[in-house]
Each structure stands twice: as C-alpha cells, then as structure tokens.
C-alpha cells in the first residue's frame, strides 16, 4: 500500500473523470476536490487488504480505480460476497452503524481509493452542507441497490 497526494492523483487523472463515480454523482468539482484533499488516497497492489475483520470501521473507501473483492467473516470462516467496482464505495455501512469491520476487502487488481473517515465526513457536512446532502443521497442509493440485490439473491435461493 502506498499513500499518494491529491496532486499526484490529479497528475494521472482529470478531476472531471471522478464525476462518473456513483458516490460522487451530481457533486460539483470543487466538492470532489475538497474530499480528495482532506481524505487519504492510497494505492493498493493486487491482493493487498484495505481492511480486515476487527479493525475500526470509522471510515469508508471510494474506489477511484480498479476493483475490490469483499469477503464476509462469520462463524469462523470467510465467504465471498461481491466485487466492488470503480466509482463505488466500500465500508460505509460499518462507519454509519458504528461497528468494527466484519469482513476483508482485498484489491482484485491495482486499486486506488479515497478513504473518508468520520472526521472528514463531519467536516464535509459543515463546510459543504448542500453537497453533503447530495453525497448522502448517493451513499443511501448505493446501499439501497445493495439491499435490493441481496433480497433478489434470497428470493432465488428459496
């Protein structure tokens, strides 16, 4: 894992390319830039873990490049749940539910993420209240899509 600055990231990618991310949908460029500046940007090699069970769940990761496989840990074993793709987030549920990580997130390939911890999340609410509302809608929409997908799997199994 390698930490990079927002400036280094923006030397590789145009800021406008991140508006296609479902998490950033409808956010103005200055708000996205603020999040990139205040959050922690990391590059992960294939197979590296973003987080493991038991770690603090006080943040979430926006996937800026690449994809991540998520494995839920329960009853002493791991089970593959799904692949999270570029533009999606992983870890928001732990942060909003105030619980530790209950699974492992592994880089499926070279991955770049923006980690937004609860302090940055709070500060974004204070400094960009209108944009925070948009971010919340995007995060809620993504959670709703995940719930619907999970419910469909349960129906298919019965």
Q: What is the distance, to the nearest Å, from the Cα of residue 4 to the centroid of all Cα atoms in its chain?
A: 17
For residue range 19-52, list pLDDT tens digits in order: 999 999 999 999 999 999 999 999 999 999 999 9
CB contact set of 126 (below 8 Å; sequence gap of 6+) = none
pLDDT single digits (tens) 56-106: 999 999 999 999 999 999 999 999 999 999 999 999 999 999 999 999 999
User: What are 16's two structure tokens?
Assistant: 């406008």
Q: Where are the domains of the chain?
A: 2-157
The answer regarding whether domain 2-157 maps to CATH 2.60.120.10 reads: yes
**pTM above threshold 0.85:** yes
């Amino acid at each position: 894992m390698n930490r990079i600055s927002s400036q280094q990231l923006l030397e590789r990618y145009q800021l406008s390319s991140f508006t296609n991310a479902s998490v950033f949908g409808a956010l103005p460029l200055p708000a996205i830039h603020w999040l990139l500046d205040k959050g922690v940007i990391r590059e992960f090699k294939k197979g590296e873990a973003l987080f493991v069970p038991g770690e603090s769940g006080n943040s979430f990761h926006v996937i800026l490049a690449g994809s991540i496989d998520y494995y839920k840990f329960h009853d002493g074993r791991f089970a593959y749940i799904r692949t999270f793709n570029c533009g999606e987030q992983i870890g928001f549920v732990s942060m909003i539910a105030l619980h530790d990580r209950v699974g492992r997130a592994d880089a499926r390939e070279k991955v770049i993420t923006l980690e937004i911890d609860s302090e940055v999340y709070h500060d974004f609410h204070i400094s960009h209240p209108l944009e925070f509302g948009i971010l919340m809608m995007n995060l809620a929409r993504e959670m709703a899509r995940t719930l619907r997908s999970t419910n469909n799997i349960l129906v298919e199994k019965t």
